[in-house]
């Protein structure tokens, strides 16, 4: 057999393998799609379960190394940072946001980087939850979650990290409570000034003029309506996210056909599609508060927002702050996201722009390097328990360490 014949045979065998793989993957995609979905696989412990909110704890990976999406192996740090890190997703999405794929899981990555990782799961709201508003989430449920994390970890000081509305809820909770034990905050694509440009700002501007006319010439008020009439179904949230990249939403089908032979790609595609197509209901009470207080009145731009007789004052926040915005985010562009830097009183604060749109900045292929790793490095320097100037621990810190020692006997990873 000459060289040309051998090459032709090899190409034929390779083509045959691809055709068989395409047939297998196509069958699974059509009839066994659940076998292709790889989200939410990182083990966790539920430390609090409520209605609808719960709190998860993600222990460090059992392996010595974890693999990233680009094939690199990262060693698991067994030395834990004392200050726990709480991830806060936005409403309307599932917890798979931070655990999308085994090689693209923010919770897994941060746990491997030496952080005690907790996650607030806002649950799956139903119509009976229509009356829940920003106060219920930003004060009541958020406060319960922090109390449970502190009880579980034995540490009072915490760090927060929120994407989109998750970051906004963090800022609002801190503004409402002035909790001095929230040491660090990272927000990613979180809207503050809804007159600063972008799709959200344009929508708010469209609402502003007719809303003011209604206020002036009638007694109708949005906050007086039955919240159940204003709840947004999950498909509407899905549509909103897909509209941030309408071309990409179509071209991915062609990508799937072109790479149907690639099992890893088919699993990634199916998992991402399942995540996007299963967004959650938005409670009507939250929509009322956001439309009136944020979209129409744009209160947060000045650093204060009043919700149900409570005022969140962001201008008094002093926690260390790191803010990210996406380069191509048409929903929350950089000028909207960076407003929080200008509003808070923090001395240690920084604004960064990372590649990606509204979802890509936290979930895209560049996110692990540009946002996850950058956040971990930033937190590395700010997640040790504080000591007095002379090098001695404060009484409060010493008591925290004693509390942690009692937990270490039960969980050596702490």
- Mean pLDDT confidence for 145-166: 97
State residue 282's pLDDT score. Answer: 87
State residue 227's pLDDT score. Answer: 56
Does residue 52 have a cis peptide bond before it, meaning omega lies within 30 degrees of 0?
yes
Per-residue CA distances from 201 to 4, 25, 68, 243 (Å):
62, 42, 36, 15
| pLDDT over 60 (residue 57) | yes
Q: Which of 65-69, 282-286, 330-334, 400-404 has the lowest mean pLDDT?
A: 400-404
| Secondary structure (3-state) at 207 | helix
Residues 6+ apart with CB under 8 A from 111: 42, 58, 59, 60, 61, 117
* Encoded tokens for 312: 């969140």
Q: Which of 118-127, 152-161, 270-279, 384-393 has the lowest mean pLDDT?
A: 384-393
**Of the candidates 214, 202, 152, 48, the residue with the CA atom closest to the CA atom of residue 404:** 152
Per-residue CA distances from 356 to 60, 325, 326, 378 (Å):
28, 9, 5, 20
State residue 214's pLDDT score. Answer: 46
User: Concatenated DSSP letters for 79-131?
Assistant: SPPSS-EEEEPPTTS-GGGG-SBTTB-HHHHHHHTT--EEEEE-----GGGTT
In DSSP terms, 75 is beta-bridged to 65
- How many beta carbons lie within 10 A of that of residue 310, not counting itself? 15
Q: Which of 7-11, 89-93, 289-293, 307-311 has the lowest mean pLDDT?
A: 7-11
- Mean pLDDT confidence for 94-118: 96
* Encoded tokens for 47: 């430390």
What is the chain's mean pLDDT, rounded?
A: 84
Instruction: For each of the domains in the chain, give its residue range(s) and CATH number, in order of start.
Output: 44-203+301-383 (3.40.50.1820)
Separation between Cα atoms, residue 26 and residue 150, nearest integer Å: 47
**pLDDT tens readout for residues 65-97:** 999 877 889 999 988 999 999 999 999 999 999
**pLDDT tens readout for residues 210-253:** 544 444 444 445 555 555 666 677 878 787 777 666 545 555 77
State residue 251's pLDDT score. Answer: 52
Which residue has 């498909």 as its token pair? 235
State residue 301's pLDDT score. Answer: 86
Which residue has 């937990």 as its token pair? 407
pLDDT bin (cut points 50, 70, 90) of residue 1 is: low
């Amino acid at each position: 057999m000459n060289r040309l014949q051998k090459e032709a045979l090899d190409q034929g065998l390779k083509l045959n393998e691809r055709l068989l793989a395409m047939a297998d993957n196509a069958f699974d995609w059509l009839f066994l799609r659940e076998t292709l979905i790889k989200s939410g696989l990182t083990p966790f412990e539920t430390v609090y379960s409520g209605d609808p909110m719960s709190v998860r704890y993600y222990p460090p990976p059992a392996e010595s190394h974890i693999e990233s999406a680009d094939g690199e192996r990262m060693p698991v740090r067994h030395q834990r940072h004392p200050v726990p890190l709480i991830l806060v997703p936005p409403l309307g999405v599932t917890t798979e946001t931070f655990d999308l794929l085994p090689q693209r899981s923010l919770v897994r990555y941060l746990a491997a980087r030496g952080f005690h990782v907790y996650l607030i799961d806002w649950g799956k709201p139903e119509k009976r939850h229509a009356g829940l508003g920003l106060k219920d989430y930003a004060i009541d449920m958020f406060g319960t979650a922090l109390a449970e994390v502190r009880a579980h970890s034995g540490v009072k000081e915490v760090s927060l990290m929120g994407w989109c509305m998750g970051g906004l809820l963090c800022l609002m909770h801190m503004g409402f409570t002035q909790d001095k034990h929230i040491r660090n905050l990272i927000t990613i694509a979180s809207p503050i000034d809804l007159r600063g440009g972008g799709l959200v700002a344009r929508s708010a501007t469209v609402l502003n003029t007719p809303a003011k006319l209604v206020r002036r010439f009638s007694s109708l008020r949005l906050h007086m309506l039955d919240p159940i009439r204003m709840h947004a179904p999950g498909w509407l949230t899905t549509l909103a996210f897909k509209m941030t990249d309408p071309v990409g939403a179509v071209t991915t089908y062609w990508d799937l056909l072109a790479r149907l032979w690639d099992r890893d790609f088919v699993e990634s595609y199916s998992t991402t599609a399942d995540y996007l197509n299963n967004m959650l209901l938005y409670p009507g009470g939250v929509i009322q508060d956001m439309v009136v207080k944020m979209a129409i009145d744009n209160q947060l731009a000045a650093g204060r927002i009043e919700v149900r007789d409570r005022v969140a004052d962001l201008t008094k926040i002093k926690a260390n702050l790191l803010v990210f915005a996406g380069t191509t985010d048409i929903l929350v562009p950089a000028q909207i996201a960076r407003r929080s830097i200008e509003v808070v009183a923090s001395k240690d604060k920084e604004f960064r722009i990372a590649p990606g749109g509204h979802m890509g900045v936290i979930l895209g292929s560049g996110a692990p390097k540009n946002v996850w790793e950058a956040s971990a490095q930033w937190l590395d320097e700010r997640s040790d328990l504080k000591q007095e100037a002379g090098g001695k621990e404060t009484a409060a810190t010493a008591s925290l360490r004693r509390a942690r020692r009692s937990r270490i006997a039960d969980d050596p990873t702490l």
